[in-house]
Amino acid sequence: MRLAGKKVIAFVDEEFEDLELWYPIYRIQEEGAEVHLVGQEKGKKYIGKYGVPAEAQFSYEEIDGENYDGILVPGGWAPDKLRRYPKVLTLISEFHEQKKVIGQICHAGWVLISAKILNGVTVTSTPGIRDDMENAGAIWKDEPVVVDGHIISARRPPDLPPYGKALVDALAKK
């Protein structure tokens, strides 16, 4: 239980990529961490692209980043919504400043772009947002998982096994 006592935020909004939310959550929970689903509305059931629901346990405004060790941002179309909430961007920025673990997969890079934290950071994402990542100053690699300090990134669902391992390893080091 390498992550016993650790707490992680998992952002959720409509049309998240089901596997990209749940697989990392389960991997982190298997190692003993507590994961909180956080959305715009506490108690709302957000529906993933393939119909799997995720109920927000907390709203963004209820969360104090000081109480958490990491953030997970799933892909799908949810990141296009998540990046519109100032509190989401504030939390991402604060975690970046404090070098806390930030996990992002697929289209989740959009949230990090909007938080303006990617300049000079080496990352991956779905190839569809490569230009967006590079235009934000990131160094983009077409690799299953890229670890640049506290930022862990992956491309898509087939990359979930190495992404889950990289997330757990990063959280265990903090």
Positions marked catalytic = 107
- How long is the chain? 174
DSSP string, 114-160: HTT--TT-EE---GGGHHHHHHTT-EE--SSEEEETTEEEE-SGGGH
- Token pair of 85 as six digits: 């909430």
